[in-house]
Amino acid sequence: MAPGIPLVPQPDQVVSAASNVAHKLLYGGLADLRRMPRTLIDDGPLREVYHYRPATVVERGDPVLLVTPLAAPATCYDLRRGCSLVEHLVAEGRPTYLVEYGEVSFRDRNLGMEHWIDEVVPTAVREVSAHAGGRPVHVVGWSLGGIFTLLAAADQPDLPIASLTAVGSPFDVAQVPLVAPFRPLLNLGTGRGPITQAYQLMGGAPKPLVRWAFQLSSFQKLVTKPIALATHLDDTDFLAQVEAVDDFTAHMHAYPGRTFGQLYHRFVKGNALVTGSMELDGRTISVADIQAPVLVFAGATDGIAPVPAVKALVPLLSGSREVRFEIVPGGHLGMLTGRAARTSTWRVLDEWISQWSTPVEEAPARRAPAKKAAVRKAAAKKTAAKKSATKNAAPRKTATKKTAAKKTAAKKTATKKTATKKTAAKKSPGRKATTRKAAAEKATPEAGSIGANPRRRYGSGGSRGLAR
C-alpha cells in the first residue's frame, strides 16, 4: 500500500490527485469492472458452472475450478481488471472454470448444506473434468466455499480432483475474535432463541444483513476509510481497489434459511469443524479421509478467518498426500484478490497447481480462439484458389481459342444456309408465304400469357408492361 500524501504534497502528487478526482466525477469511477468473458456449460438448482473464454492464449493442462462461498458474488474471483484471479489464470493459459449459485430467494429456504456438499460441488467438478477432456481438476474454494469443497472431497473420494486449495476457511470458530466473546451466550439458549426465530421467519439471512456483517468484520477499515481515501487521492490503483471492493459488497446474496440455521447452530454455536468431522444427513464426514494434496491459505490481517482459526485445519488432514500452509498478506477478501495477492497468493497457487498437474502431453491442447482458426482456414483456401487459377490459366486460353474457332465455323455455315433458302424462295414464292405465316403463328403466345405465366415463381413487371 502506498504511504499516502504527505502534509506538504509534491507537485506531481497534486496533479495525480486532481486527475483522479476529475476522472471519478466525469466517468463515475476509476476501477475497470469489466468481467472476464465466460460461457455457461452446466446449470441446475442454485448451480451455474461457467468456462472462462481465453482471448489469445492456448489452454493447456489441468482445469482449475473456482468455488464461491454462499452469499458472496462471483466477483470475488474477478474483482477488477488488474486484480482478478480469473484474469491471471486465463492469461497463464490454464483452463479456468467457476461455480456460482445465483440469487437466493424465499423459496430456497428449505435447502441445507447437503445441497452444496452432495450436489453442487461434486457435479461442478465432474462437469468441468468432462468439459476439459477428462483431466483431473484443481479445486480452489474461498471462505465457506473452501469448507464445502473439503467436505465434498472427503465424502466422495472418487471425484476427479488433482488438488484442493482452501483460502481463508476457518475450522476453529473459537479463534475468531468477532464470535468468541458471544459463544457462551449463544449456548445458553435451547435452540429456539430470538436468532433462530428470526431466520426461520425471514427464510434465511437477507442481503442487507449479510452486507452489514461483512462490513462489520472490517469495522476499523470502514471507520478509517474517509481518511485513507483523502490521503491516497494520488494513488489510482488504491482508489480503483476501494471502488471494486465497494461494488463487491453491494452485490452480496442472501443465505437460505435451513443452511443459515445449520451454519449458526453447528459452526458458530457448536464449533463442529474443530474436530474435522461433521454429521450430515445421517452420515459422518471427516476431512481425514481426503487423499488429494491440500494447500491452505490464511490472511495475515483476516478478521473473519484469522490465522489460528484457519491453521486448525492442517493437523486434521492426516490422510492427504501433502499439506501446505501459507500465511499471505491481506484480509478476508484482500488475501484472495487484493493488490498484494498478485505477488503472494497467486504465485504460490501457480506453483502448487504446476506441482500437482499431470503432464500436458497426455491430452491435446484446447485452442479457444475459434474465430482466428476460421480466418486462417479461409485464408488458406483463398491462397489455394489463387494457385489453382494460375495453374489453369493456360488451358483456359487454349479453350477460348478453340471456342472462337468453332463460332466462326458456325457463322459461315449459317450464312451458307441462308443463301440457299433465299435462292429457294425466289424459285417458290408461294411456299415462302406459307412458311412465314406458320412461323408467325408459332412465335405468337396465347393472349394474356406475357408476364402472367402461372408457372413462374416470381412475376415480371417488365413483361407485363410489354402486354399493354
Per-residue pLDDT averaged across 85-106, rounded? 91
Per-residue pLDDT averaged across 447-468, rounded? 39
- Res. 368 pLDDT band, cuts 50 70 90: very low
Per-residue pLDDT averaged across 218-227, rounded? 54
Task: Choose between 102 and 239: higher pLDDT.
Answer: 239
CA gap 329, 344 in Å, rounded:
7
pLDDT of amino acid 467 = 40
Per-residue pLDDT averaged across 85-113, rounded? 88
pLDDT of amino acid 38 = 96
- Res. 179 pLDDT band, cuts 50 70 90: low
Question: 451 pLDDT exceeds 60?
Answer: no
Q: How many residues are recorded in the chain?
A: 468
Predicted structure pTM score: 0.68
The helix/strand/coil state of 162 is strand
Question: 223 pLDDT exceeds 90?
Answer: no
- All three cell numbers of 438, joined, read 406458320
Question: 141 pLDDT exceeds 70?
Answer: yes
Range of lowest pLDDT (46-55, 86-95, 312-321, 375-384): 375-384
Task: Choose between 400 and 343: higher pLDDT.
Answer: 343
Per-residue pLDDT tens for 369-409? 444 444 444 555 555 555 454 444 444 444 444 444 555 55
Per-residue pLDDT averaged across 167-184, rounded? 76
pLDDT of amino acid 82 = 93
Task: Choose between 179 and 341: higher pLDDT.
Answer: 341
Q: How far is CA 326 from the centre of its chain?
A: 28
The helix/strand/coil state of 293 is coil
> 114, 281 in Cβ contact below 8 A?
yes
Question: 457 pLDDT exceeds 80?
Answer: no
pLDDT of amino acid 250 = 84
- Res. 424 pLDDT band, cuts 50 70 90: very low
pLDDT of amino acid 172 = 94
pLDDT of amino acid 306 = 94
pLDDT of amino acid 268 = 81
pLDDT of amino acid 466 = 37
- Res. 21 pLDDT band, cuts 50 70 90: confident
pLDDT of amino acid 362 = 53
Task: Choose between 384 and 457: higher pLDDT.
Answer: 384
- Res. 229 pLDDT band, cuts 50 70 90: low
Give CA separation, 342 vs 83, 229, 240, 306, 348, in Å.
7, 22, 15, 20, 10
Within 13 A of 183's CA, how many CA atoms are on the CB side? 17
pLDDT of amino acid 225 = 57
> 75, 250 in Cβ contact below 8 A?
no
Q: Where are the beta strands (DSSP E) in 19-94?
A: 38-44, 47-52, 58-59, 64-67
Q: Taking Cα atoms as reference points, which of 138, 143, 104 lies closest to residue 124? A: 138
Going along the chain from its start, the domains and CATH numbers come out as 31-206+254-367 (3.40.50.1820)
CA gap 226, 249 in Å, rounded:
17
Q: Taking Cα atoms as reference points, which of 298, 295, 323, 347 lies closest to residue 89? A: 347
Per-residue pLDDT averaged across 156-177, rounded? 94
pLDDT of amino acid 28 = 72
Question: 291 pLDDT exceeds 80?
Answer: yes
Question: 203 pLDDT exceeds 50?
Answer: no
CA gap 368, 85 in Å, rounded:
19
Q: Is 379 exposed, middle or buried (0-12, 13-18, 19+ CB in 10 A)?
A: exposed
Helix segments in 164-218, DSSP class H: 183-186, 194-202, 207-217
Per-residue pLDDT averaged across 426-453, rounded? 45
Task: Choose between 397 and 28: higher pLDDT.
Answer: 28
Q: What is the DSSP letter of 300?
A: T
CA gap 295, 278 in Å, rounded:
21
Task: Choose between 420 and 314: higher pLDDT.
Answer: 314
User: Got the DSSP string for 220-287?
Assistant: HHHHHHHHHHHHTTT-HHHHHHHHHHHHHHHT--PEEHHHHHHIIIIIIIS-GGGGTEEEETTEEEEG
Question: 70 pLDDT exceeds 60?
Answer: yes
Average pLDDT of the chain to the nearest whole number: 75
